[in-house]
Structure 1
Amino acid sequence: MRFFILSIILFGIALTAKGQISALGGWIRSGQKPVAFASVRLIDSKIGTTSDSLGKYSITNLKPGKHIISFSALGYSPIKKELIIREDETVNLDVDLEESGSAIEEFIVTGTMKEVSRLASPVPVEVYSPAFFRKNPTPSVFDALQNVNGVRPQLNCNICNTGDIHINGLEGPYTMILIDGMPIVSGLSSVYGLSGIPNALIERVEIVKGPASSLYGSEAVGGLINIITKKPQNAPAFSGDVFTTSWGELNTDLGFKFAAGKKAEVLTGINYFKYGNRIDNNKDLFTDVTLQDRISVFQKWNFNRKENRQFSLAARYNYEDRWGGDITWDKAYRGGTERYGESIYTNRWEMLGTYQLPLKESVMFSWSLNDHDQNSVYGNTIYDARQKIAFGQLSWDKKIKAHDLLIGTALRYTMYDDNTPATALLNGLNKADKVWLPGIFIQDEIALAEKHKLLLGMRYDYNSIHGNILTPRFAYKWMLNENNILRLNAGTGFRVVSLFTEEHAALTGSREVVVTEQLKPERSYNANLNFIKRIYFKSGSFIGIDASAWYTHFNNQIIPDYLSNPNQIIYSNLQGYAVSRGLSANFDMTFTNGLKIIAGTSLLEVFSKNEASGKKIRPFLNEKWTGTWGISYKLENLNLGLDYTGNIYGPMLLPRLSNSDPRSGISPVWSLQNIQFTYTGLKKIELYGGVKNLLNWTPGKNEPFLIARSNDPFDKEVQTDAAGNVVPSAANPYALTFDPGYVYAPNQGIRGFLGVRLIIK
């Protein structure tokens, strides 16, 4: 009897326990995109799980009661949800994660020309999503890159604000700019091509630091930046982003898509930027910032084909009217000697496309065309130039057991013409510079074992002027475990130099260009060691570390000599070698309380060594160390986000005209810092505002002047001796000539900004 009663009691307890079993499940997405392998954890216990490849998750055997659940994933801001789970209840909870700016788990194409997971790629590629750039809204991709570690937008002129992109201390011509993998921006158009790409249409930006010529050919000698635009099917139906600043800048980004029948989807983007205030805070009677009127229109078509084969077409048109100079200048003075102004009219169009051939094998044809027409005046010096680039590439992607092969052939044609001696014959007649660059390449990614990958690559190019060029490549990846990855990369790069497309000082007319020999192509040899570590905490917080050490050796480097003669730029191949080496580290920290930190630092050493003198020479405008950061915090109760971003740069050598030039030869440590508040409490609308350049830092506050002899830009009062050397005089005590090249940072001081974003999905 006692045994019978005990059995009934135990059976009842079992039934009660069974009735208390509860469960939680749902989908984790970001917009319409599933978030795979997201972490789901109960804050008050050790219970947790991860989402599958489709973003679905499930937790069973939950105790009834109040729970706080943490959802986090790499590249997304973590969130916490509080809910009460009752007995014997299955709760469905779908979560929408917001991109945080870092994109460690993104799929990439830049490192190997194939779409692979960033962590699976043997080539280290840094990826930045639109959320990263929204932390500090800017009117162009050129300006947006200021918060990327190891990448620095460099202004090269105090008047027209021409600039280039430095990667790991190397000047702009060593950086290749791609749009959707196509070498559509190069030479003359590097900065102009980065202005006017509608930010609303950017899916992500991929950056490779180090030579990539074995895949992309000339100019990918120091690194490359690949701007990936959105696919129409992934873009919102409409997006708008408009902001203005207290200086009077106005930037408008619009994007919208529509279906062109059943077989095509079309994405259109429009960017308009306007700045028209003549501000002269440094009192040199010249504009501190160039005035601009720019419009860009971009359209991309994706066609639906059988078996999901790719077919896309895209085109962009960019027009810009930009000028700087004497604050009393207007277009009536253009090209004359009464008022000094630097005025640039730019007309540029681009087309690109990708077509997957209707074959069983994966064979892709990609092509691009662009035409860049630039009409410029620098005072009374006229620079009228045109550049056309046509590019085509056929590639075959084939997997054979442990081998993942990519075989391809490419052809690039470049035509460059201007009104300078660069394209003139000895008899004075004009002859455009035309270069054919056919090439073939092969790449084999070998799975040596479960955790080991080896990539071998080789490219052969024939330059119609310089002949044969061979660029091998090697990459090795060791995945110690899922949270620790080691990569070793080595390769070569090459670059064919076109002086008048790269040196602004050669165009202003302030210096004569002297070429002492037939210039040879530059060659680089690079090794890069990269380590990625991911640390997860039980609370759902995460820390990611991406560290690299690199060494790049250059032969035949062309270094402009500004010092031998203040009125000349003298070019020749370096009789010796040059080196770029250093260390860098990126830190990505995500906490469940809403705090997000992205920070980076780089230590750089860049120098050239002449065989004759044996001396190391550090280049101008090259910092020895740099740092960047972005700190974000979300106040969920107030629907308010806070972003604090900034950068800091170590001292640089500055291009003085001579020893008698009173300006400093070394820049101070300088930093640009910004703060932004974003309100998300309105449906489909974001309001944002803040302050740029919080410290109100501008160059030259402790200098007698920034622009040499801005009071005499045509050198009318400059006196010279019989040999043509400038001599001191009462009107020119330092024996200087007009020169706007003493610049290392923007002249724009503190300013407020206010904007609104509208997204209709």
Structure 2
Amino acid sequence: MRLISVIILSALFICASNSVYSDEPLKRPKTDAMLFGHVTSGEEHIPFATIVIEGTTIASAADATGHFKMANLPEGKQTIVVSAVGYKTLKEEVMLEANKSTTFFAELEPDNIGIEQVVVSADRNEKNRKETPTIVNSINPKLFQRTQNVTLSEGLNFSPGLRMENNCQNCGFSQVRMNGLEGPYSQILINSRPIFSGLAGVYGLELIPSNMIERVEVIRGGGSSMYGSNAIAGTINLITKDPITNRFSAGVSQSFTGVANNYEASDDYNIKLNGSLISDDFKTGLSIFGFHRKRDPFDANDDGFSELSSIENVTLGARIFQRVSSRGKITFDYFHINEFRRGGNKFDMPLHEADIAESVEHKINSGALNFDLLLREHDKFSAFLSAQGVNRDSYYGAEQDPSAYGLTDDLTYSTGIQYIRHLHNLVFSEAAITAGLEANGSVLTDEKPGYYDPEENLQHSSTLVADQKMETQAGFLQSEWEIDKVVVSAGVRFDHYKIEDQTRDSQSITGDVLSPRINFMYNIFDNFQFRAGYARGFRAPQIFDEDLHIETSGSRQVLHRNANDLKQESSNSFTASLDFSNFNGGWQYQLLVEGFYTHLNNPFANEYGTPDENGVVIYTRVNAEKGAKVQGVNLEFNASPSNWFQLQSGFTFQKSRYEEPQEFNETRFFRTPDTYGYISLNYSPAPYFNAAITGNYTGPMLIPYFGPQLENPEEGKLNKSGSFFDAGIKLSYDIKITENVIVQLNSGIKNITNSYQNDFDSGINRDPAYIYGPLNPRTFYFGVKIGNM
């Protein structure tokens, strides 16, 4: 709490000192200096391009015809920055005079594969991707549309080193693996803030609708250590949609999951709404989004038990900004998710009357307040407060168990300040310093409510399962130097964490962690960069997502626990890469080769217990006596001859190994293939027609099995899966209704060859965790979308 007070007081001090550090007062006098123009590329006008006065918060956007106007601008020589998705950012100086109009025509060059895209995740500040010493990959809305991704989860398969997987037949608990490491090793951020809690993360990647997201930025490996705990594998930063102009879109789609000879297909229906409004003076903006999804359960092997759960999701959200001066801006974000999912059987019966039922209902409220103030010529101060509340009603039970209901409440918060200072000389050259303070925390309670047993005529009282509180205070300092062809970024982060568990004799764990990082980039040529980096990371021994998910069958119920002497896990990560990109005639292409190596100290591993008389099995998380190594190579190749054709692809070769045998006397990580990759082809022979072909490859992997097909299910068996290639195609056709409004018709197939697991466990005693391979079987879909797109 003391650090929170320091953060708030610092923010107030900086704001009060604005007149000292800023060259402009908060209220900008009217100048009647105006800027008119249009944005084009070749002979085509670019709609909705963003126009910004550099060094201020003044911004506008082109309309649907590519034209714009801006009024009451600051006098003198100003730098105009024009950007649009799929084009290189343009910077050009113009002279603005009071009571006069200036005409400005912007001609943008295509950048169809995002070579020079602006990103924010590398050092918490906007920067051209080619100029960052850390590799940042971006997944944009176009790729979500081409792959018909309803939620965030499926889209993450289309970034190098990332792979989504389903871990439960009953309820669809999923996670993303980055560079071979499990989901909890990756930090999920929303607008660069770590408020995506462990509880929300159990099903969170499938909770978030794709129309909520402007883009996803991915940093692999140690370059993400400045974001704190759980960023050993990397970070996934969800950037939400910003209002830039008056726009709207609405769409509806219908899918049929499991279209094959021996499947009974299930329906998956969704509606998406998006809109934004901007005031005439561009000082106030509002964007809103809505999402509704209803998916029926899917049974792949006709045993009466689902392999994909039923889902009903309603999500609403908004982002509002207010420019408080030419150099100050306040932004507020909010979204609410209400989702109910259920897996098992007897879906028309109450939960406790089914043979197996795994069900959760989430009510998530998330909000964030951010204040940005530009100081001096290039400096920037930011203060933020984010919070997320999760209320979860759950049922994980079998054999009509009335005691399997659960209630979980979780509050996560993050607050802090950040200051970016540009110095003309620091030690040996010009430098940019980024410093900040953060306070993060969470409070979680999980209990089983009491119930009345009519057979025993007995009232059972409620049981407290978890009561955990975690607080982290952190400070970070980073400096970046640019000397001729070399860019060096060095930083350090200090975290002090405290974890209190009231369910374990008031157990308290504290730790102090110093996480250094250094990244280096050498521009061999203008279009050829070498990068290398090192970073330390850590993972605190708290409750993570898999602890709050229960695998249930008629014969066993799996619970996850931390060992009493569990210590924090730490890592040393090294990366090196060669990144070549070029514009040759009409062609653009990029080739990235990236090597990664991570050594885990005191790595977390599971000890599998044996079922007790009630069939309860405890998986205990312990520290392996020796470490573990994760190493490999990520390849990425992107190419485009023009805006009518784009190729994006990536492939990973890797090894994840413990340094001593673990369960089943095996050193290899389970559920981790040594090879996986993706490809995406987009073809637009005409402005109104588009064809997209996509594919995901998953190599063989080891899968533990504890099911009734074994002679001794308690001992389990380690199976090796085959490989999969999940290919899809989507066709879309645009119909122009008015000058600004378009109706789009689309249709396609996912997993055309039905490359899908064919040995699912069956029956009430099945092992629900024995699931692997592509997320969905063959699926047909069609949709309609309307808007000024």
TM above 0.5, yes or no, is yes
Shift in Å, 1:466: 2.3
Structure 1 Cα separation of the partners of residues 251 and 583 of structure 2: 35
1:677 aligns with 2:731: yes
Residues 493 and 524, structure 1, Cα contact 8 Å, conserved in 2: yes
Distance 1:452 1:27 in 2: 38
2: distance between equivalents of 1:25 and 1:384? 56
- The answer to whether residue 396 in structure 2 is matched with residue 378 in structure 1 is yes
* Post-superposition CA distance 1:504-554 (Å, at most 9, x none): 66464612545444211111110111221013333x112211220000011
Kept in 1, the 8 Å contact 2:254–2:269? The answer is yes
1:126 aligns with 2:137: yes
2:593 is aligned to 547
AA aligned to 1:145 is L
Residue in structure 2 matched with residue 440 of structure 1 by the alignment: 475
Instruction: Give 1:697 deviation, angstroms.
Output: 2.2
What is aligned with 2:95? none
| Residue correspondence of structure 1 range 293-304 to structure 2 within 5 A | 293-304=312-323
When structure 1 is superposed on structure 2, of 749-758 and 640-649 the one drifting more is 749-758
CA distance in 1, matches of 2:658, 2:286: 49
Secondary structure of the residue aligned to 1:671 is strand
Output the CA distance in 2 between the equivalents of 1:477 and 1:232. Answer: 34
Of 400-409 and 212-221, the range deviating more from structure 2: 212-221
1:138 is displaced (CA, Å) by: 1.6
Contact kept, 8 Å, 2:195 with 2:387, in 1: the verdict is: yes
Q: Residue type of the partner of 1:569?
A: Y
More deviation, 620-629/649-658: 649-658
Alignment of 1:16-415 (within 5 A): 30-33=46-49, 100=112, 102-212=113-223, 214-233=225-244, 236-246=246-256, 247-259=266-278, 263-276=283-296, 278-326=297-345, 328-330=346-348, 332-336=349-353, 338-357=354-373, 362-379=380-397, 380=401, 381-401=404-424, 402-415=430-443
In structure 2, the CA distance between the partners of 1:287 and 1:428, relative to structure 1 (3 Å rule), is: closer
Q: Deviations over 1:336-383 (max 9, x none)?
A: 4x5321111111010012112586552210121001111111123233
1:653/1:499 CA distance change after superposition, 3 Å: farther
Match of 1:458 among 474, 486, 492: 492
State the alpha-carbon separation in 1 of the partners of residues 300 and 494 from structure 2. 53
Cα distance, 1:749 vs structure 2:
2.2
Deviations 1:696-743 (A, max 9, x none): 12212xx3xx23xx4334xxxxxxxxxxxxxxxxxxxxxxxx421101
**Contact 1:466 1:520 survives alignment (8 Å):** no
Structure 2 distance, partners of 1:357, 1:179, is 21
Please give the residue correspondences for 1:683-702 in structure 2 after superposition, counting only pairs within 5 Å.
683=737, 684-700=742-758
Aligned-partner Cα distance in 1 for 2:373–2:640: 43
Encode CA deviations 1:223-247: one digit per residue, 9 max, x unaligned: 11101112212x5521123211134
Aligned to 2:529: 485
Aligned amino acid, residue 603 of structure 2: Q
Match of 2:678 in 1: 628
Structure 2 partner of 1:586: 636
Shift of residue 685 of structure 1? Answer: 2.1
- Whether the aligned pair in 2 keeps the contact of 1:108 and 1:116 (CA below 8 Å) is yes
Q: Residues 610 and 564 from structure 1, CA distance in 2 versus in 1: closer, same or farther, beyond 3 angstroms?
A: farther
Q: What's the offset of the Cα at 1:279?
A: 3.8
Determine helix, strand or coil for the equivalent of 1:144. Answer: helix
* Whole-angstrom CA distance in 1 between matches of 2:133 and 2:336: 36
Aligned partner of 1:526 among 573, 589, 613: 573
1:655 and 2:704 aligned: yes
**In the TM superposition, what whole-angstrom CA distance separates every residue of 1:300-327 from its partner, at most 9, and x where no partner exists?**
001022123221000010000110111x
Q: Measure how far apart 1:406 and its partner are.
A: 0.5
Secondary structure of the 2:156 match is: helix
Identify the residue that residue 557 of structure 1 maps to in structure 2: 603
SS at match of 1:739: coil
**3-state DSSP class of the match of 1:457?**
strand
CA distance in 2, matches of 1:34, 1:237: 13
8 A Cα contact 1:410 1:438, kept in partner? yes
Q: State yes or no: 1:497 paired with 2:514.
A: no
Q: Would the aligned equivalents of 1:680 and 1:687 in 2 still touch at CA under 8 Å?
A: yes
1:18 corresponding residue in structure 2: none
Q: 1:504 to 1:670 in 2, by over 3 A?
A: farther
Paired with 1:273 and 1:466, the residues of 2 have a C-alpha distance of: 42
Q: For the structure 1 residues 676 and 74, does the alpha-carbon distance in structure 2 shift closer, same or farther, using more than 3 Å as the test?
A: farther
* Structure 2 unpaired stretches of 5+: 1-39, 53-78, 91-103, 257-265, 425-429, 450-461, 499-508
Distance (whole Å) between structure 2 residues aligned to residue 367 and residue 458 of structure 1: 22
Q: Which amino acid aligns with 1:405?
A: I
Amino acid at match of 1:531: L
**2:550, 2:123 → 1: CA distance?**
36
Q: 1:445 corresponds to which letter in structure 2?
A: E
Q: What is the one-letter code of the residue matched to 1:685? A: V
Equivalent position of 1:734 in the other structure: none
> d(CA) in 2 for partners of 1:634 and 1:612?
51
Higher deviation after alignment, 598-607 or 186-195:
186-195
What displacement does 1:497 show? 3.3
1:365 and 1:747 map into 2 onto residues whose CA distance is 39
1:577 aligned to 627, 633, 649, which one? 627
- Distance in 2, matches of 1:584 and 1:549, equals 6
Q: CA–CA distance in 2 between the matches of 1:549 and 1:419?
A: 45
Counterpart residue identity of residue 785, structure 2:
R
- Alpha-carbon shift at residue 431 of structure 1 (Å): 6.6
* Equivalent-residue separation in structure 2 for 1:571 and 1:54 (angstroms): 51
1:752 matched to 2:780? yes
Give the match's secondary structure for 1:488. strand
CA, structure 1 residues 648+238, in 2 after alignment: closer, same or farther (shift >3 Å)? Answer: same
Question: Per-residue deviation at 1:664?
Answer: 7.2
User: What whole-Å deviation, never above 9, does each CA across 1:141-176 have from its counterpart, x for those lacking one?
Assistant: 012212223211111101100111111111111111
- Residue of structure 1 aligned with 2:771, choices 743, 747, 753: 743
- Once the two structures are TM-superposed, the CA of residue 28 in structure 1 deviates from its matched residue by 6.9
Single out whichever of 168-177 and 379-388 deviates more from structure 2.
Answer: 379-388
Gaps of 5+ in 1: 1-23, 37-51, 57-71, 77-91, 422-426, 714-737
Asked if the contact 1:75–1:103 (Cα under 8 Å) also holds between the matched residues in 2, the reply is no
User: Root-mean-square deviation (CA), in Å?
Assistant: 3.2
Distance 1:151 1:612 in 2: 25
Partner of 1:416: 444
Whether contact under 8 Å (2:166, 2:775) holds in the other structure is no
Query: Under a length normalisation based on structure 2, what TM-score does the superposition of the two structures give?
Result: 0.76
Higher Cα Rg: structure 1 or 2? 1
Deviation at 1:34, TM superposition (A): 6.7
User: Is the 8 Å Cα contact of residues 264 and 302 (structure 1) preserved in structure 2?
Assistant: yes
Q: Which moved more, 1:580-589 or 1:210-219?
A: 210-219
Structure 1 residues 54 and 319: CA distance shift in structure 2, 3 A: closer
- Give the deviation of 1:95 after TM superposition: 7.9
Q: Residue 500 of structure 1: CA displacement?
A: 5.8
Superposed CA offset, 1:109-136 (max 9, x none): 1110011111111111101211121111
Percent of aligned positions that are identical: 23
For the structure 1 residues 281 and 407, does the alpha-carbon distance in structure 2 shift closer, same or farther, using more than 3 Å as the test? closer
